[in-house]
Each structure stands twice: as C-alpha cells, then as structure tokens.
Amino acid sequence: MKEKELHIDGIDKVILKHLMNDARTPILGIAREIGISGAAIHQRLRKLEASGLISGSKLIVNPKVLGYNIVAFIGVYLDAASKYSSALKRLKEIPEVVESHYTTGNWAILVKIVCKNNEHLLKLLNQDIQLIKGVARTETFISLDQQINRQIKL
C-alpha cells in the first residue's frame, strides 16, 4: 500500500492542520491563506490520500448529549490467552465498547467503554463483560476528567 516515500512539507502541514481540526474547512479558504490555488491543494490532498496518511474523516458526536456521561477503562483478565479471539468477537457486539486493545502487562485486554451512569456501568460489567467466556476478572478505572484528546503531531 505504501510505495512512495512521502514528503510532507510546510504547506501540507498547514492543510492537514486545518482539516484535522475541521474536516469540512473549505479548500479555497485554506488556499487563500497559504497563497496558492485551490487546485494545488486538491492535488496535494489526493497525494496524501494515496500515500495512506489520510485514512478518512469522521463527524464527531458528543456522547454526553445522548446521556452517556461516564467513560471507563476496564482491564480484562483472561483465564487463557487462547480465548482472545472469541472474547473479542463478543466485545464487538457490545455497543458501549468503543476501544479494545490486546495489551502486554497485567491483563490481556484493555477496553474503553462509554455508559450513561453507574447502574449502566454495573450492568455492563456484570451482565455483559464478565459473562464472556474466558473472562476471569476485571478491573475498572473510571475517567473523572479527560483533558487531552488529540491526534499525533505532524
């Protein structure tokens, strides 16, 4: 998928910085700011897409408005590493699970979940996650304050 070495110069960085902040920023506005034509920006974007650096764009929704007020991380211990793929399959079916990582260290899986309140969290733990075959026990870490949420710097 990656053949060409990609050279990201200062202009590319300006373009990407704008679009990483708001994917719907008009190309022509960026063009005027930089001082090159809209077509040139378009060409650069096509190149960056082809290189795989741009992997898409997403509309970001605020979970709080839907009543999802709690973010928590759950460390999941498996009784055998071989249970990973089947457990993962079940985790994918739980919509509140928004991230899942197979990790080195204490537990086997680190899961990030979003839920509405404490009862909801308890229900997820007791009736969903801990009932998955292979899950031995879990450790829960509730995020009381998320102050950093960004992408890697260019």
Q: What is the dihedral of CA 19, 95, 121, 65, to 10 degrees?
A: 50
**Binding partner selected for residue 29 from a copy of itself, DNA, none, CB under the kind-specific 5 to 8 Å limit:** DNA
Going by C-beta distance under 8 Å and a sequence separation of 6 or more, which residues neighbour residue 98? Answer: 112, 113, 114
Can residue 81 be called a binding residue for a copy of itself (CB under 8 A)? no
Which residues in the 103-142 window bind a copy of itself by CB under 8 A? 103-106, 110-111, 114, 139-142
Can residue 51 be called a binding residue for a copy of itself (CB under 8 A)? yes
Can residue 103 be called a binding residue for DNA (CB under 7 A)? no
Tell me which of 20, 27, 72, 94 binds DNA, using CB under 7 A. Answer: 27
Nearest C-alpha neighbor of 79 from the set 109, 123, 113: 109
Give min distance, CB of 61 to DNA, in A. 18
Residue 140: exposure state from Cβ atoms within 10 A (0-12, 13-18, ≥19): middle
Can residue 53 be called a binding residue for DNA (CB under 7 A)? no
**Binding partner selected for residue 102 from DNA, a copy of itself, none, CB under the kind-specific 5 to 8 Å limit:** a copy of itself
Kindly state the helix (H) or strand (E) to which residue 112 belongs, with its residue range: strand 109-115
Give min distance, CB of 111 to a copy of itself, in A. 8
**Binding partner selected for residue 28 from a copy of itself, DNA, none, CB under the kind-specific 5 to 8 Å limit:** DNA
Nearest C-alpha neighbor of 150 from the set 7, 31, 2, 20: 20
Q: How many residues bind a copy of itself (CB under 8 A)?
A: 61
- As given in the structure block, the two tokens for residue 13 are 């960085």
